[in-house]
């Protein structure tokens, strides 16, 4: 009925006035709507930033007016604009302009890239970013400050591992931060020492904070350029919405300026640190404050670290570091602190998301969520676990039963799968990135990338979820293949699942009349090619708010 009514109104356009003709019409495509009532269509009409009609090419062609822009898709696949449920948007844009270490193949390559970058920087400028991954090196050995001291000159350096839970500081940065052999490990952090007791420069989690505190803040102009770089990257990958897990007040101010100037080309849901919840509550902020382009009202906490840094919190020790089972984050020391924050934030109407990687961390968060919900009573709160990476069977049941959103990043599965079993063994790995088990239990999956920890490329995320082929090519049938899901299920997790995670399922996530006109046109029909070919697929066009903002074909 909704679709028929929309078509009826639009066929009356000649009687109502030319201003009501569609602004944009897509014809002769294969439209996957993610709308069960009308899953497939051929054409879409967009008017005033919203989807006006969805139907056959013959039906939509009748709606074209004198000023309507018409795009013939020539049979290309169209999906809703992707909604990345977990990004660090500003830092991702910033790192596009900083030293590139993610694909460094060895310690020598790592050092040489830093040397070349440092040589081009003004005297004394900090070198940050990096996103390195020592697990890609042979041997997979952590770098030390001595590796880079000779090539960084007067530049303080702090480059972080791609997961953001560990970084390397050069000797100058350690000196500026006051970190010496006598400096104790802070709660929730670790300073790595060499055999002589000296800091190696590797700092984990909370131990990074003294160095980060010394890094000068960017100017608003520099921040705006980083956000624009991030938006260009989003458009090239069909991403029209992001949920920013680290939207500081300064970053939000830049987003607002871009919105006011009409330059914001991605919809943003900003999350604040959970320790700032009282400030948000004091001024009356609740989940969903803002508009369909920029809103806030969510807080995020941390339960533990990461698998790659051996700081994810497990019940059992790491196989390759038997002296540790991971670290609880300082937000969880003691756990009652996190419970009090979650309960208070939820009672005030804020949405709560908590990062949890290890099985013990996930269990602790689910218990906290259950207690907070019982104290505050029933409501549509949509608690979220960010990553939900390593679970036990009871954790999967609890996620579904408690209706907690599993905000997951499938690309991590094909990245971590190269080396995860040396950390935790095959038995614990069976429920790592447990997409299939979670869906079968009735849980809601919201997919994202964790950019810039991983690429902001939803098509690669869909490839990862559907194939689980690790990046090293050693699992052609899939790592833990029983956890694969279908391409259609993965698309839904990247669209409707992510929309649900941000209370937006009524305005986006599917292609149907009345919803926001955010769409992606793909180079191949991902629903009808072998999933193993998904890594060959690209985005041809991205439509945001009814406007073509990226066009790889026409180059507009």
pLDDT of residue 164: 86
Confidence of residue 12 (pLDDT cuts 50, 70, 90): very low
Q: Quick: pLDDT tens for 299-350.
A: 999 999 999 999 999 999 999 999 999 999 999 999 999 999 999 999 999 9
Nearest to 298 by CA among 370, 364, 247: 247
pLDDT of residue 14: 46
pLDDT of residue 39: 98
| Element housing 555 (H / E) | none
Q: Which of 3-12, 71-80, 483-492 has the lowest mean pLDDT?
A: 3-12
Q: Mean pLDDT score of the chain, rounded to an integer?
A: 95
- Among left, alpha and beta (phi > 0; psi -120 to 50; other), residue 212 is alpha
Q: Quick: pLDDT tens for 114-163.
A: 999 999 999 999 999 888 999 989 999 999 999 999 999 999 999 999 88
CA gap 269, 351 in Å, rounded: 11
CA gap 88, 249 in Å, rounded: 14
Nearest to 526 by CA among 540, 543, 513: 540
Q: Quick: pLDDT tens for 353-406.
A: 999 999 999 999 999 999 999 999 999 999 999 999 999 999 999 999 999 999
CA gap 424, 429 in Å, rounded: 7
Q: Which of 273-277, 373-377, 460-464, 552-556 has the lowest mean pLDDT?
A: 552-556
CA gap 529, 393 in Å, rounded: 33
| Domains assigned to the chain | 1-81+509-556 (2.30.40.10), 96-212 (3.10.310.70), 220-504 (3.20.20.140)
DSSP label of 516: B
Confidence of residue 448 (pLDDT cuts 50, 70, 90): very high
Residue 555 has pLDDT above 80, yes or no: no
pLDDT of residue 98: 87
Helices first, then strands: H and E counts in the chain = 20, 25
Residue 504 has pLDDT above 70, yes or no: yes
Strand partners, 128: 158
Handedness of CA 408, 409, 413, 415 (dihedral sign): negative
pTM of the entire predicted model: 0.86
Residue 11 has pLDDT above 70, yes or no: no
Q: Quick: pLDDT tens for 155-190.
A: 999 999 988 889 999 999 999 999 999 999 999 999
pLDDT of residue 19: 64
pLDDT of residue 252: 97
pLDDT of residue 8: 47
Distances (CA, A) of 431 to 134, 169, 385: 25, 35, 16
- Mean pLDDT over 205-216 rounds to 95
Residue 6 has pLDDT above 70, yes or no: no
- Mean pLDDT over 424-436 rounds to 97
pLDDT of residue 7: 53
Residue 298 has pLDDT above 80, yes or no: yes
Handedness of CA 355, 360, 363, 368 (dihedral sign): negative
pLDDT of residue 95: 85
pLDDT of residue 556: 36
Residue 51 has pLDDT above 50, yes or no: yes
pLDDT of residue 16: 46
| Percent of the chain residues past pLDDT 70, beyond the cut | 96
């Amino acid at each position: 009925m909704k679709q028929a009514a929309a078509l009826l109104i639009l066929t009356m356009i000649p009687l109502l006035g030319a201003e009501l003709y569609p602004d944009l019409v897509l014809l002769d495509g294969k439209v996957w709507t993610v709308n069960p009532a009308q899953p497939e269509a051929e054409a879409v009409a967009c008017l005033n930033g919203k989807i006006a009609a969805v139907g056959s090419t013959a039906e939509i062609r009748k709606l074209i007016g004198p000023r309507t822009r018409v795009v013939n898709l020539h049979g290309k696949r169209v999906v809703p604009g992707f909604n990345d449920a977990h990004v660090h948007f500003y830092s991702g844009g910033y790192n596009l302009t900083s030293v590139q270490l993610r694909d460094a193949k060895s310690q020598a390559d790592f050092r040489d890239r830093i040397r070349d970058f440092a040589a081009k920087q003004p005297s004394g400028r900090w070198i940050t970013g990096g996103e390195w991954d020592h697990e890609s090196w042979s041997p997979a050995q952590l770098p030390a400050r001595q590796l880079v001291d000779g090539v960084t000159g007067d530049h303080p350096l702090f480059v972080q591992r791609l997961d953001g839970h560990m970084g390397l500081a050069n000797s100058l940065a350690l000196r500026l931060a006051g970190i010496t052999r006598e400096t104790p490990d802070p709660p929730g952090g670790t300073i790595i020492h060499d055999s002589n007791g000296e800091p190696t420069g590797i700092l984990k989690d909370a131990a990074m904070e003294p160095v980060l505190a010394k890094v000068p803040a960017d100017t608003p102009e520099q921040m705006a350029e980083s956000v624009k770089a991030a938006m260009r990257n989003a458009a090239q990958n069909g991403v029209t919405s992001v949920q920013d897990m680290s939207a500081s007040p300064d970053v939000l101010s830049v987003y607002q300026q871009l919105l006011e100037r009409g330059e914001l080309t991605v919809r943003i849901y900003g999350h604040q640190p959970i320790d700032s919840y009282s400030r948000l509550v004091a001024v009356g902020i609740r989940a969903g404050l803002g508009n369909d382009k920029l809103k806030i009202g969510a807080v995020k906490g941390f339960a533990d670290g990461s698998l790659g840094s051996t700081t994810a919190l497990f019940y059992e020790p790491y196989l390759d570091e038997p002296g540790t089972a991971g670290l609880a984050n300082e937000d969880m020391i003691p756990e009652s602190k996190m419970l009090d924050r979650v309960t208070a934030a939820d009672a005030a109407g804020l949405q709560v998301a908590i990062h949890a990687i290890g099985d013990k961390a996930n269990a602790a968060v689910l218990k906290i969520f259950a207690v907070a919900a019982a104290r505050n009573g029933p409501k549509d709160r949509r608690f979220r676990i960010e990553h939900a990476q390593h679970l036990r069977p009871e954790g999967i049941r609890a996620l579904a039963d408690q209706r907690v959103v599993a905000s997951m990043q499938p690309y991590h599965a094909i990245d971590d799968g190269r080396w995860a079993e040396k950390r935790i063994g095959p038995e614990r790995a069976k429920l790592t990135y447990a997409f299939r088990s979670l869906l079968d239990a009735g849980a809601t999956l919201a997919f994202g990338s964790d950019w810039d920890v991983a690429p902001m490329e939803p098509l690669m995320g869909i490839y990862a979820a559907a194939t689980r082929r690790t990046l090293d090519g050693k699992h052609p049938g899939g790592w833990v293949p029983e956890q694969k899901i279908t391409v259609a299920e993965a698309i839904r997790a990247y669209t409707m699942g992510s929309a649900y995670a941000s209370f937006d399922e009524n305005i986006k996530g599917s292609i149907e009349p009345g919803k926001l006109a955010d769409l992606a046109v793909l180079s191949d029909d991902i629903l009808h090619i072998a999933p193993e070919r998904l890594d060959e697929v690209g985005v041809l066009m991205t439509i945001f708010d009814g406007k073509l903002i990226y066009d790889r074909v026409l180059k507009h």
